[in-house]
């Protein structure tokens, strides 16, 4: 009986959330665009006639035609294949590095807010330092030392993303901690672990979810910037960023627009959609903000 009641309450909360999210047309459009992009880059590549590394010796920098729908790049690789395989890598790096930041940041923020004291001072001070320092300089430094690869880029972006989550978690938990139901849980003798994991964590999830969407978007931007500079994903593997690397040469920029325009547009579309979704989530999950239609 009691269980059924909480279930139906959960259901209304969910429906309420869907309704609020659905109100934000940009967020819904962004969600659909993201799903579409994710499906395209995961499903289609195996069916493509060319692999991302395959060189067509008869077509160096060929413009789009029936054989290569988006043309080939300056060493004769099919741009369409690279676009889709590159999308896989860009999304992979964005998502995995963000999960890494979450895995480091959330426990640190949670513990800092719950235990306070020296642990809080050290962790939060460190987070402030990381946030006030231009991350890309540190990332470039680390990548230059460890050598550029998909692995290094993911790990470095992931590790350096921790303070965003730690600080957010810290702030949220500090306010939850003062709530009556926490006092209640302490009073009925719940263990500290249970309080942290069962009472505090679930209530702190909403802002984290929002932050995750935004962070994936910025992780993709960082990855593509690094790859664009030649310090991220290394060819022959493709990523949306490194496909634009060659457009630094003025001949490719001016004469072979099919090489650099599609990955750039895909990047913008993906990041834009993620930011729309993040914004929609923020409006839908936070009952205090008014819906802006």
Partner 1 sequence: MKRYVIRRLLIALPTFLGITVLVFVVSYLSAGSPLELLLSNQNISAAEIARQGEKLGLNQPIYVQYFSWLGHLVLGNFGKSYRTMEAVTDMVFKGLGATSILVLVSVVIACLIAIPLGVQSARRQNKIWDHIAAVFSFLATSTPSFFIALVLLYVFSVQLKILPIGGMYKIGEENNLLSLLQHLIMPGLVLSFHMIGTLIQFTRSSMLEVMREDYVRTAKAKGLKERNVVVRHVLRNSLIPVVTYLGMEIPLMLGGAVVTEQVFSWPGIGKLMIQSIFSRDYPVVMGITVIVALAVLVFNIITDLIYGLLDPRIRYD
- Residues interacting with partner 1, by CB under 8 A? 26, 129, 132-138, 140-146, 217, 221, 224-225, 228-231, 241, 244, 247-248, 250, 253-254, 257, 260, 264, 267-268, 271-272, 274-276, 292
Produce one character per residue of 41-68: b if its CB has 16 or more CB atoms within 10 Å, e if not: beeebeebebebeebeeebebbeeeeeb
Angle between helices 150-160 and 205-229 (to 10 degrees): 140
- Which CB sits closer to partner 1, 154 or 246? 246
The CB-of-214 to partner 1 minimum distance in angstroms stands at: 10
What's the half-sphere exposure (Cβ side, CA atoms, 13 Å) at 182?
A: 18
The CB-of-24 to partner 1 minimum distance in angstroms stands at: 12
- Which CB sits closer to partner 1, 86 or 173? 86
The CB-of-246 to partner 1 minimum distance in angstroms stands at: 11
On whether the CB atoms of residues 84 and 44 are closer than 8 A, the answer is yes
Alpha helices (runs of H) in the chain, residue ranges in sequence order: 2-23, 25-43, 79-115, 117-132, 135-146, 150-160, 162-177, 180-187, 192-194, 201-203, 205-229, 250-255, 257-285
- Which CB sits closer to partner 1, 7 or 132? 132
- Which CB sits closer to partner 1, 80 or 274? 274
On whether the CB atoms of residues 57 and 30 are closer than 8 A, the answer is no
The CB-of-263 to partner 1 minimum distance in angstroms stands at: 9
- Which CB sits closer to partner 1, 26 or 195? 26
- Which CB sits closer to partner 1, 54 or 225? 225
The CB-of-234 to partner 1 minimum distance in angstroms stands at: 13
The CB-of-128 to partner 1 minimum distance in angstroms stands at: 9
Structure tokens at 43: 């499903």
Distance (Å, rounded) from C-alpha 225 to C-alpha 90?
A: 11
Residue 38 CB contacts under 8 Å (≥ 6 apart), including other chains: 91
Distance (Å, rounded) from C-alpha 94 to C-alpha 221?
A: 8
The CB-of-60 to partner 1 minimum distance in angstroms stands at: 21
- Which CB sits closer to partner 1, 155 or 221? 221
What distance, in Å, lies between the first and last C-alpha atoms of the chain? 39
């Amino acid at each position: 009986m009691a269980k059924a009641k909480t279930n139906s309450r959960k259901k209304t909360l969910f429906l309420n959330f869907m309704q609020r999210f659905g109100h934000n047309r940009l967020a819904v459009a962004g969600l659909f665009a993201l799903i579409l992009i994710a499906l395209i880059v995961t499903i289609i590549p195996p069916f493509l006639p060319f692999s991302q590394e395959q060189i067509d010796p008869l077509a160096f920098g060929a413009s789009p035609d029936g054989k290569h729908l988006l043309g080939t790049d300056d060493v004769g690789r099919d741009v369409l294949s690279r676009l889709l395989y590159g999308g896989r890598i860009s999304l992979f790096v964005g998502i995995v590095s963000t999960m890494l930041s979450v895995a480091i940041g959330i426990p640190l923020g949670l513990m800092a807010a719950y235990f306070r004291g020296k642990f809080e001072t050290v962790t939060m001070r460190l987070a402030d330092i990381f946030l006030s320092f231009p991350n890309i300089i540190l990332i470039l430094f680390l990548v230059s030392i460890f050598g550029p690869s998909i692995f290094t880029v993911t790990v470095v972006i992931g590790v350096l993303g921790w303070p965003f989550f730690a600080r957010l978690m810290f702030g949220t938990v500090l306010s939850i901690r003062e709530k009556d139901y926490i006092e209640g849980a302490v009073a009925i003798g719940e263990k500290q672990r249970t309080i942290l994991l069962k009472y505090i964590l679930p209530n702190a999830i909403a802002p984290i979810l929002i932050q995750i969407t935004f962070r994936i978007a910025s992780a993709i931007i960082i990855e593509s910037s690094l790859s664009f500079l030649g310090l991220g994903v290394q060819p022959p593997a493709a990523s949306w960023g490194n496909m634009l690397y060659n457009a630094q040469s003025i001949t490719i920029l001016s004469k072979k627009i099919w090489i650099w325009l599609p990955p750039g547009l895909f990047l913008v579309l993906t990041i834009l959609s993620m930011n729309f979704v993040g914004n929609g989530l923020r409006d839908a999950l936070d009952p205090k903000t008014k819906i802006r239609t």
